Structure 1
Amino acid sequence: MPTIIMTKWPVKLDGSVRAQAMAFLQKLSTDDTIPGLHVEPIAHSADPRVRTGRVSQFWRAVMFRLDSNGEPHYVIHGVWPHDDAIDVARKVRLSMNPINGLPQIEEVGPPPAPAPSTPQPAVPEPAVTELIASESEPLLTRLGRTRRDLVDRLGVPDDVADAAIVAPNEDALLALAMRHEGWLGLILLDLASALTVEEIIERLDLTRPAPESDSQDTELLESLQRPAARAQFSFIGDQDELRRVIEQGDFGAWRVFLHPEQRRYIDKSFKGPFRLSGGAGTGKTVVLVHRARALARRNPNARIVLTTFTTTLASALRESLAQLDPRVPQASELGAPGVYVTGVDALASAVIRGAGPDVGDAVRTVLGEDRSDPNGRVLSTSWRSALDTAGTDLPTEIANETFLAAEYGLVVLPNRVHSEADYLRVRRPGRGVALDRARRAGVWSLLGAYRSYVRVDGKLDFAEAAAVAGAHLQRSGPLADHVLVDEGQDLSPAHWQLLRALATEGSDDLFIAEDSHQRIYGPRTVLGRYGIKIVGRSRRLTLNYRTTAQNLRYAMTILDGADYTDLEESPESTGYRSARTGPAPRLVTVSSLTDELEAIAAQVSAWLDAGTPPATIAVLARDKFRCERLANGLAERGVAARIVDRDTLAAGRVSVMTMHRAKGMEFSKVVLADVGSQSAAEQQRLAELDGAEREDAELRRRSLVYVAATRARDELAVMQQQSEASLR
């Protein structure tokens, strides 16, 4: 049976043509001799391997036939109207780059203009010549690159090298990269970075291997399977996979075409816990979902847990795994073969439920006392209520729920402190507030008041539940062979103790994706303190696939001047780059709510009038109260908007949601509201904190705006309050 090799098609197709292309490729993958397919060579073509096939009376496929070991392989270049397809087929050529040995599709002569009926991209790519240089010499010259580096060492074609070497700045080089799919575009992106030519060669595996066969077709097929080639060419395993690729409007790029670095972390085996960091949009979650599938394929009996901080993100992971490959079994209960996808707090609850009566031993291990209803969870207001009933002489920077909840989660629970004597002895690494003996006694009195308050209902708070679940697993044994963790920066020490106990220690036990710049929930945590040793097994992704370079630059300014540390307690660097270009963010200074509502309504209306679907637009604010004001204000101004909390997006309405809720989501166009403003209640809460706690709250505040800004794929508008400079 023929093998189908898909590429990113240069011409996008509407739904009816995609269905016809699907039917054609299904038949082709079954038997390429079916008469109705009309698979035919083209006379006087630039490449004797080129073929055309009949998709319909009007549309034809252009492809290349490669034969190896008696089996045909078809590289599908795209689908065009009949006459254009013939023209493309005469000019197109599939060859192997003489320098790096990677496959390349070239056109001898100018390609035909797209058919009038073919939808065009909403945002045209800017021409390099339209980007005006402000620098005195081209970018690559300033970086010490030469044309010889590009052509003789990296394999960049002459015409592309000529354009790259004169590109005045990063935006111009990025615009050039966007016009070249696959490994060539990746090389151009890396040329704009601080990577040396040697590092680019190693990163993309550009060293041409010695041929293993005298057959040119076989050699080409081997080149098509190299990691850098897989960013543009994908071998399709069966018709179900073919259907999933075709039915996606963008041909499922995130599911099929991966950066060589991403693919490396999907398939590689590690001798212990591994950490993959990277900024927003660098593809960490994509790697996790693909890795879950790879582990399930490697061992169908493996117990795999895929988890993250919130239930919303867990639902998104579950849907992504099903979209990637519905044949991957998703386990319905913890400990069963397959991939069990859940939020980390729901995971703790599942462990506690499964423990049955034995959970009492774990509760006593963690708390030193019993709880009558360990399956129940206390209200989030319990700290405030407990403090209101307890008297203390401690200063407000200590006697507040922020400090005490952090002390409880970072010191008391992970160390299983049961008494004042235990607390007076326990170490408190990483806690910014020093406590002498008297103050420790006062803090323990307040912590004891909290425990007494929640003991009445017999329930556990979420941190206690995670600690209890971890303690039970330490007694009973692991329930998973592999644990994959997304958004690891937001997890608490008790979560990490639970996850460490959940997985059987050994190869590929824990795979952690995190970005310290996106920590908007949990406290700063060091994994080594909780039995998770990742030193020497950490890597970082730096290429952003979601948002444009212009939007990313704005987002990075939010982080400027702040010190972030990763899960190894090392300084977290940035250096992120985008694979896309677009318009600069629109920054609008507003001085009142009415002023802001008018500006947001005008911006959203302009996008809608330009044809942007409402469901691809989001307005993000920092809390639910602001969201309600925005949704009502937009409705009064004729913009159909809907507040999104736990509901799904509404197809005919603009989404209004909190910045927290938008975590893990993306939209074509985004408005950020209230940037730089602080309510009186928030100012009072910050004033009550100790300096270290206040600094950490400021980091999370910056991170929240950074997360929100990176939800925008194409366009970003920012409503800046007068105090926005406080974010910089």
Structure 2
Amino acid sequence: MPLVLAKSFLESYASLSQPVQKDVRRMLDKFDEMSRSQSLHLEPIKGSLDSNVRTIRVNQGVRGVVAAPEHGETFVLIDVLPHDDAINWCRRKRLSVNHATGALKVYDITEHAATMPSAPVAMTNSPVGFLSDLSDELLVQGGIDWFFVPAIRALTSEVDLEALAAKLPADQGQALIMLAAGYSVDEVLAELLAERPMLQSSVPFADDFVASDSAAVRSPDIAAAAQHPASAAAFYVVESAAALAELLNQPLEHWRVFLHPAQRRLAYRPTYEGPARVLGGPGTGKTVVALHRARYLAAQLPHSAGRRVLLTTFTRNLAAALERQLVSLAGDEPILACVDVLNIDALAYRIVQEAEGKRPPIVAGDALRAMLAEAADLAGLPYGPDFLRKEWEQVILGQGISTREAYFSASRAGRGIRLDRRQRSMVWAALETLTGWLAERGERTHLQIAQAATEHAVRRPGRYDHVIVDEAQDLHPAQWRLLRALVPKQPNDLFIVGDAHQRIYDNRVSLSALGISIRGRGTKLRLNYRTTYEILRWSIGLLSGIAYDDLDGSADDLQGYRSQLRGLQPFVMGFDTADVEHAALAQAIRDWASAGVPLREIGIAARTTEARRCVAKALSANGIATSELTSTD
């Protein structure tokens, strides 16, 4: 079956009604003939931007978008859309094979209209004018698609260069800036792809590339590019009718957990010689990598081994989401019998309950705060319950301190308030009082449970063979000690993903100080798949000048963090009163709705629950209905 399906096709298919899905399956059956017969009814579209692209009838109102390349007999199904949308797709978009990586991409030409050539471009090794030291071949080898070259040749100044770079796809804009600054092709690709550039012979073009004044750009083999490893995140090769049926039976959620090649190398690497850490900003696919790593490690175990792989994170809701995604990813694979998916508190609770034979009562929230306040008053401490709790959690429990003398000599870096020996004595007295009360009542905090679970885990080592940690930036040192105790020091023991820029709780750690050495096994994901370039650039600007750590005592930064998605520029508006703000928000929503944006696609985020309620009430008063998203949505 000579067929490749784009991820966009599968996602659109999953959202169709069952009757239309049946029509799509009947259309796909025709491709099983492996022939360019007239029965396929592939129709060229007048005004299409890509000569390879056709449409094919699904039913009276729906058409498939298909790439039928001149070379070979492998069809690429790109999307399935309402009739008019399919026609517009052909008139707005085109396929392109990147010479440097071999990846097949879809470009919306209308978004780059100012930079697009109107005809195939002759390549030259003898450019003139601005950037004359960069040949066309060098630009293409550096990761810039050939149809952007004429716009580069039209540049006359650094100002023009920066303006054009901002209009290109983000990765290619960065490549252009680096090439213009004198970086080599190898250095550019090492930065953008986090790998050495592929051999030119592996890049799927139909004819050899010849750089000369009269040479035309070689024509890409679209089908081969779709099957190239660099395209694996967006295109799937169908080997048989059975494989096609299996693909089409997957739910939409299944297509949200596929990997970009750079992510796949991390998730499916056979062996890390010790703990491995993956950093990355929001939208870079860290969680997807963690899910695939759990899947890979579980698949290496005998099914009779029991739950020897732990996939953990900070909160209960995140753990529930991980479990749903893992079920979707694994499908019918029996690996789920080998994986525990638990948030860190539930994990510690389970271990303590199993070891002690009863449920450990937990104290938290207002009850704990009241006890902290009373203990602070009794000790004469001039600071309130919140200060005492953080001193306990961040310094004493964070450093595993068990004696008064050890606390007196402990580092309190980052706590903000200096304490002399007398004040430390007061803190210790207050916490002795508090822990005494808790012991009398048989209650413990979550971190005390984690501490107890670690002691039990040390007595019963090797509970798991592999531990995968998601959202690692929010775990407390006491919880890291537990995870270290749960798995022996061995290859593939700990796989950690996180981002200090997304830290919610002030739990700062140095993994190496906790017995988790990641030296030589740290990686960073820099490509954002969720946020537009415009929003990302604006957000990074807000974070400039703020120090963040890499979870191991060193600094982290956002250098190289980028997105290939383009969108509108974000804007900020300020208001004198909440009423004026709510009125402006209601008007903005009405304007978006008038422009054709469905109300269900408009989201509103508020800093607090009370602020959210006020906004919902104000919008309701303006005739705009809202629906609250709960923690499980």
Aligned partner (choices 419, 442, 445) of residue 429 of structure 2: 445
Displacement, 1:626? 2.2
Whether 1:318 and 2:302 are equivalent positions in the alignment is no
Corresponding residue for residue 200 of structure 1? 188
C-alpha contact (below 8 Å) 2:379/2:427 kept by paired residues: no
Corresponding residue for residue 343 of structure 1? 343
Map 1:622-633 onto structure 2 (within 5 A): 622-633=607-618
Displacement, 1:64? 5.4
Tell me how far apart the structure 2 counterparts of residues 404 and 208 of structure 1 sit (CA, whole Å): 60
Corresponding residue for residue 646 of structure 1? 631
C-alpha contact (below 8 Å) 1:20/1:55 kept by paired residues: no
Whether 1:309 and 2:314 are equivalent positions in the alignment is yes
Q: Say which SS state the counterpart of residue 403 (structure 1) adopts.
A: helix
Q: Deviations over 1:407-450 (max 9, x none)?
A: 32233335544443453455656655554432221110111122
Tell me how far apart the structure 2 counterparts of residues 253 and 176 of structure 1 sit (CA, whole Å): 27
Tell me how far apart the structure 2 counterparts of residues 286 and 604 of structure 1 sit (CA, whole Å): 33
C-alpha contact (below 8 Å) 1:174/1:580 kept by paired residues: no
Q: Say which SS state the counterpart of residue 15 (structure 1) adopts.
A: coil
Tell me how far apart the structure 2 counterparts of residues 191 and 619 of structure 1 sit (CA, whole Å): 36
Displacement, 1:466? 1.6
Question: Relative to structure 1, is the Cα distance of residues 124 and 300 closer, same or farther in structure 2, using a 3 angstrom cutoff?
Answer: farther
Q: Deviations over 1:113-155 (max 9, x none)?
A: xxxxxxxx9x97363369xxxxxxxxxx999983436446346
Corresponding residue for residue 262 of structure 1? 263
Corresponding residue for residue 539 of structure 1? 523
Question: Relative to structure 1, is the Cα distance of residues 95 and 510 closer, same or farther in structure 2, using a 3 angstrom cutoff?
Answer: same
Give me the TM-score of the superposition, normalised by structure 1: 0.67
Tell me how far apart the structure 2 counterparts of residues 622 and 587 of structure 1 sit (CA, whole Å): 16
Displacement, 1:95? 10
Tell me how far apart the structure 2 counterparts of residues 535 and 279 of structure 1 sit (CA, whole Å): 21
Map 1:707-718 onto structure 2 (within 5 A): none
Question: Relative to structure 1, is the Cα distance of residues 459 and 82 closer, same or farther in structure 2, using a 3 angstrom cutoff?
Answer: closer
Question: Relative to structure 1, is the Cα distance of residues 431 and 610 closer, same or farther in structure 2, using a 3 angstrom cutoff?
Answer: same
Question: Relative to structure 1, is the Cα distance of residues 640 and 78 closer, same or farther in structure 2, using a 3 angstrom cutoff?
Answer: closer
C-alpha contact (below 8 Å) 1:305/1:482 kept by paired residues: yes
Tell me how far apart the structure 1 counterparts of residues 267 and 349 of structure 2 sit (CA, whole Å): 29
Structure 2 counterpart of 1:347, which letter? Answer: L
C-alpha contact (below 8 Å) 2:381/2:427 kept by paired residues: no
Tell me how far apart the structure 2 counterparts of residues 83 and 600 of structure 1 sit (CA, whole Å): 33
Tell me how far apart the structure 2 counterparts of residues 64 and 639 of structure 1 sit (CA, whole Å): 46
Question: Relative to structure 1, is the Cα distance of residues 543 and 468 closer, same or farther in structure 2, using a 3 angstrom cutoff?
Answer: same
Tell me how far apart the structure 2 counterparts of residues 74 and 297 of structure 1 sit (CA, whole Å): 33
Corresponding residue for residue 718 of structure 1? none
Tell me how far apart the structure 2 counterparts of residues 530 and 596 of structure 1 sit (CA, whole Å): 48
Corresponding residue for residue 388 of structure 1? 373
Tell me how far apart the structure 2 counterparts of residues 626 and 212 of structure 1 sit (CA, whole Å): 53
C-alpha contact (below 8 Å) 1:38/1:53 kept by paired residues: no
Displacement, 1:209? 6.1
Aligned partner (choices 462, 482, 487) of residue 498 of structure 1: 482
% identity of equivalent residues: 32
Q: Which runs of 5+ in 2 are unaligned?
A: 45-49, 117-128, 208-220
Corresponding residue for residue 556 of structure 2? 572
Displacement, 1:570? 1.4
Map 1:361-400 onto structure 2 (within 5 A): 375-390=360-375, 391=377, 396=382, 399-400=383-384
Tell me how far apart the structure 2 counterparts of residues 150 and 542 of structure 1 sit (CA, whole Å): 24
Corresponding residue for residue 161 of structure 1? 149
Question: Relative to structure 1, is the Cα distance of residues 297 and 355 closer, same or farther in structure 2, using a 3 angstrom cutoff?
Answer: same
Aligned partner (choices 278, 281, 287) of residue 279 of structure 1: 281
Tell me how far apart the structure 1 counterparts of residues 198 and 34 of structure 2 sit (CA, whole Å): 38
Displacement, 1:456? 3.8
Structure 2 counterpart of 1:311, which letter? Answer: R
Aligned partner (choices 592, 607, 629) of residue 607 of structure 1: 592
C-alpha contact (below 8 Å) 2:144/2:176 kept by paired residues: no
Give me the TM-score of the superposition, normalised by structure 2: 0.76
Tell me how far apart the structure 1 counterparts of residues 611 and 343 of structure 2 sit (CA, whole Å): 27
Displacement, 1:102? 2.5
Structure 2 counterpart of 1:307, which letter? Answer: T
Corresponding residue for residue 121 of structure 2? none
C-alpha contact (below 8 Å) 1:273/1:532 kept by paired residues: yes
Tell me how far apart the structure 2 counterparts of residues 49 and 619 of structure 1 sit (CA, whole Å): 41
Question: Relative to structure 1, is the Cα distance of residues 460 and 606 closer, same or farther in structure 2, using a 3 angstrom cutoff?
Answer: farther
Question: Relative to structure 1, is the Cα distance of residues 453 and 504 closer, same or farther in structure 2, using a 3 angstrom cutoff?
Answer: same
Q: Which moved more, 1:225-234 or 1:422-431?
A: 422-431
Corresponding residue for residue 7 of structure 1? 6
Structure 2 counterpart of 1:160, which letter? Answer: F
Tell me how far apart the structure 2 counterparts of residues 524 and 293 of structure 1 sit (CA, whole Å): 29
Aligned partner (choices 247, 250, 272) of residue 242 of structure 1: 247
Tell me how far apart the structure 1 counterparts of residues 131 and 547 of structure 2 sit (CA, whole Å): 28
Q: Say which SS state the counterpart of residue 375 (structure 1) adopts.
A: coil
